[in-house]
Structure 1
Amino acid sequence: MSYHASRKPISVVKTYLNHNCTDLIPPPGVIINDSNRETWCDWVPFDGPDASTLLGYLDSAFLFAYAVAMFFSGFVADRISLRYFLAMGMITSGISCYLFGIARYYNIHLLSYFIIVQIFGGIVQTTGWPGVVAVMGNWYGKEKRGLLFGLWNSHTSLGNIVGGLIAGRFLNIDWGLSFIIPGVLIAAVGLVDFLFLVDTPEDVGCILQEVSQQPCNTGVFEYSVCLFFSKLVSYTCLYWLPSYIKSSTSLGATLSSYIATIFDVGGIIGGLIAGYITDSTGLSATTCFVMLVISIPLLLLYNLFGAIDVSVNIVMLIILGIFVNGPYALITTAVSADLGTHESLSGNSKALATVSAIIDGTGSIGAAVGPLLAGIFSAAGWRKVFYLLMLSDVLALLVSFTNLKVF
């Protein structure tokens, strides 16, 4: 949860770094004229007409670094103590949040500084997913893994909610704290992990009983490509929903960030539903396929009608979160763990983090591309962004079709 909480502030704070200042009262000493009437309160260098593009660069710097480093992170996680690996990653992730937040106090306005901090943050955040999936895979067998991992995966959405609420709480008071407090949170949890985490049941004298499974095509490549497009949609929503809600409604930055967290509530429900259906039927690819089919028209409907009313927006965000995040949650948890412990790997438990990293690393490339394109397309209208998301889900749909099992 703390990993995702520490990633969320940028999507909230970007609505404050660049917004319309016309209705705000300037502090003493600030001279307002026609050239700066709408931008006097913005944070340089995000005060120009290209602000959306520059903010998109920040997202992409983090996500591309995350995607590239992920392939190496899984290899490392399989070869050192997961306790050390996760503790180190969480503490350094806290440092990256702190470095972004102190720009507020040291009056840092260099785009290069923010990009370097984002790259550093993307690299150290890769310790999270392969590490925690490996720990879960070590401790829990394959029986009812879909529902179990669906319940456990709610930490991603809970982290987004907590991070969004913390960032939103301090947004209008001191946006530096919107980063620093989640940074302290993840560093503290890293210390707890270092003190108490046990890597495997064998480390404390326990033996995990496994159930047999039917041989099947591992499908690492197909699921990796499917996750590329699914994660593109999910992370574009994660990073740009607050900005979209603010621009399409009369709501302020703080309330927009709060409402955007409702999408993650739907994500929790979607992960549980996808996991339960997979456990009941054994058809993970079919589950992904059906949820992707439903998500495509939902994206269009939300773009057309989501801004009508706050209550309509909330209901549609919950439904959208269920079907957009359901496939993403299923692939990155239960499917990754199943593939990483598949019998074709000859019982090599050291492959679990590596397989998880390959799948999530490929998906993270899509997560990097999505927000970057959204930042560019949004300048020409949000409808184009939603067309991009719908196209991505169509492509994910086509890839998931190759993995369908026939009754």
Structure 2
Amino acid sequence: MRSSLAPGIKLATSFSRDSWYRGFILVLTFLFYTAYHLSRKPISIVKSQLHQNCSFVVKPADLNVTDNVTWCDWAPFDQDNYQNLFGILDNCFLVAYAIGMFFSGMFGERLPLRYYLTAGMLSSGLFTALFGLGFYWNIHSLWYYCFMQAMNGLVQTTGWPAVVACVGNWFGKGKRGFIMGVWNSHTSVGNILGSLIAGAFVSSAWGMSFIVPGIIIGTTGVICFFFLVERPEDVNCSLPQHHESSEREPLLGNSPSSEEIFSNHTSVQATEEHAEAISFWGALRIPGVVEFSLCLLFAKLVSYTFLYWLPLYIANVAHFDPKGAGDMSTLFDVGGIVGGIVAGVISDYSGGRATTCCVMLIVAAPMLFLYNRIGQNGVPTTIGMLLLCGALVNGPYALITTAVSADLGTHECLRGNSRALSTVTAIIDGTGSIGAAVGPLLAGLISPTGWNNVFYMLIVADVLACLLLSRLVFKEVHRWCGHAARQRGFKEI
């Protein structure tokens, strides 16, 4: 009697060769950007170790130091203006990242994505590790750490435009908010892993909090060199559906609201025969790009302020040790994973990307106020507020950087051109990165006056992000009202 095929083999053979390759690319790009964020996170964990309350630290018997309140701190962060110095350190990375992002898209257009990503991850691993080696080399120069942060910020710009362009090459108009929301969890997963890895070493030898993530992202760079496939045609796979879409294909799926927001524009027409990169001004003239870019600026301002300052805030206000504060801060990113998926699902169901973002931003503002007021009243309250704030803050951020940016690559005028997609993505994320640079800097300047003022700044940014989408929200609501009226008319007939 002939034996039946094993269930696992049946499952494996039920997927086509194209499906296996697409799944492989999705997992690979997820891994790459997880490594990028993993290497960014340690600085926020280590801050509370570079400057801490030395009265709670047990002094080793063989350590010959003067008995002062800063004996356990790491110069130059042992001064009273340490919060400003941390802000400068963050800004070196984020300003370099914001500036470099606008140029990164142009480089991504002209260089093979595999080489570009490999070089970026290897370079990021080098500068991340060099920052940590300052501990073992006993370096106390602010300029050294600022330089390493700035260089790391520049090379980290290779990541986002390249992975989005690669995904755009492989996936067509079937990209929906739910799928992209799940894929975008690489940001939060990277933050969580970066926090846990840095937290494991921060109290004993904080240099390893940077060296280990540097080795990890360098290793993923090697994996990229050996395994990344940039385009389906390189391995004789079928082209994604957007390559064959008609002139009438809307940008954001099949919903009418998407067609309204991202309608065809005569100034940015491109032909399939000439895969030329879209111009900077042409991309800005696509309806909705300016609004979403500016909204992302303020949304990313809030998100990155939490990314760089939340562990220190928890350590100062809730009196956690550096490792405990770092571990607790990962709950914000756990909430971010859920928020990104929920935002994608809601926007898929409703057909309103802008409205979904706006509602989440509106709810986020009072939740930030509550977290500052009652968020440290016991561990259960802290956990709940961190999860809720993480979901509401990172949900709109995730939706704009994935569903909106990736959908631009399915626009018929781009014809799935990765070169054009790289430029458009860099413009959107570059604009958001300006906010990412400003937020931590303002937090460093404002925090000496009290953490309440930092949260007021975040709430104002949240409200501004919401207001910038008001025109698009009005159009979506108007469409919904018109659709409801037509449905009533049909029923009466």
Is this a same-fold pair by TM over 0.5?
yes
The correspondence for 1:218, drawn from 287, 290, 315, is 287
**Residue correspondence of structure 1 range 31-110 to structure 2 within 5 A:** 31-33=65-67, 36=68, 38-110=69-141
Q: Structure 1: which 5+ runs fail to align?
A: none
Map of 2:441 onto structure 1: 372
Deviation at 1:24, TM superposition (A): 1.5
Residue deviations 1:149-176 (CA, integer Å, cap 9, x gap): 1000001000000000000001111100
**For the Cα contact (< 8 Å) 1:56–1:374, is it kept in 2?**
yes
Deviations 1:52-90 (A, max 9, x none): 100110100000000000000011112211111111100
Structure index of larger Rg: 2
Structure 1 segments (4+ residues) deviating >6 Å: none
2:64 counterpart residue number = 30
1:104-253 aligned within 5 A? 104-206=135-237, 207-210=239-242, 212-213=249-250, 214=259, 216=263, 218-253=287-322
Distance, in Å, in 2 between the alignment partners of 1:188 and 1:321 is: 29
Pick closer, same or farther for the CA change 1:348–1:12 going to 2, 3 Å: same
Query: Quick check: 2:184–2:398 contact (8 Å CA) kept in 1?
Result: yes
Work out the CA distance in 2 between the residues paired with 1:143 and 1:340.
Answer: 12
Partner of residue 326, structure 1: 395
Q: What's the CA shift for 1:383?
A: 0.2
- Structure 2 CA distance, aligned partners of 1:317 and 1:47? 29
Equivalent in the alignment of 1:6: 39
Matches of 2:208 and 2:129, distance apart in 1:
9
Moved more, 60-69 or 276-285: 276-285
Whole-Å Cα distance in 2 between the matches of residues 204 and 29 of structure 1?
61
Q: Hey, what's the Cα distance between the residues in 2 that align with 1:403 and 1:127?
A: 31
Residue 374 of structure 2 corresponds to 305
TM-score (ref. length: structure 1): 0.97
CA contact (8 A) 1:218 1:339 kept: no
**Equivalents in 2 of 1:48, 1:341: separation in Å?**
52
Query: Does the Cα contact within 8 Å between 2:169 and 2:417 map onto a contact in 1?
Result: no
Unaligned runs of 5+ residues in structure 2 are: 1-33, 251-258, 264-285, 481-493
Please say if 1:270 is aligned against 2:342. Answer: no
Instruction: Tell me which moved more, 24-33 or 256-265.
Output: 24-33
Return the alpha-carbon distance in structure 2 between the equivalents of residues 137 and 29 of structure 1.
57
RCO (CA 8 Å, sep 6+): is it higher in 1 or 2? 1
Call closer, same or farther: CA 1:308–1:240 in 2, change over 3 Å. Answer: same
* Superposition deviation, residue 311 in structure 1: 1.4
Distance 1:236 1:319 in 2: 16
Tell me the distance in 1 between the aligned counterparts of 2:203 and 2:129: 18
| Superposition deviation, residue 144 in structure 1 | 4.2
Q: CA deviation at 1:340?
A: 3.7
Q: Which residue is 1:21 aligned to? A: 54
Return the alpha-carbon distance in structure 2 between the equivalents of residues 115 and 248 of structure 1.
27
SS of residue matched to 2:207: helix
Contact 1:341/1:349, CA 8 A, preserved across alignment: no
Amino acid at match of 1:170: F
Which residue is 2:15 aligned to? none
CA distance, structure 1, for counterparts of residue 71 and residue 395 of structure 2: 41
Q: Distance in 1 between matches of 2:426 and 2:48?
A: 31
Distance across 1 between alignment mates of 2:75 and 2:143: 12
Does the aligned pair in 2 maintain the 1:12–1:164 contact within 8 Å?
Answer: yes
Instruction: Report the equivalent of 1:336.
Output: 405
Residue identity in the other structure for 1:188: T
Select 1:256's aligned residue among 314, 318, 325: 325
Tell me, yes or no, if the aligned pair for 1:341 and 1:351 is still in contact at 8 Å.
no
Distance (whole Å) between structure 2 residues aligned to residue 182 and residue 347 of structure 1: 34
**TM-score, normalization: structure 2?**
0.80
Amino acid at match of 2:179: L
> For the residues of structure 2 that align with 1:87 and 1:29, how far apart are their CA atoms?
44
The count of corresponding residues between Structure 1 and Structure 2 is 404
How far apart, CA to CA, are the structure 2 residues paired with 1:25 and 1:393? 42
Q: CA deviation at 1:339?
A: 2.2
Shift in Å, 1:346: 6.0
Q: Is the deviation greater in 225-234 or in 205-214?
A: 205-214
Tell me by how many angstroms 1:253 deviates: 1.2
1:273-292 matched pairs, under 5 angstroms: 273-292=342-361
**Aligned-pair identity (%):** 55
Cα distance in 2 for partners of 1:298, 1:205 equals 50
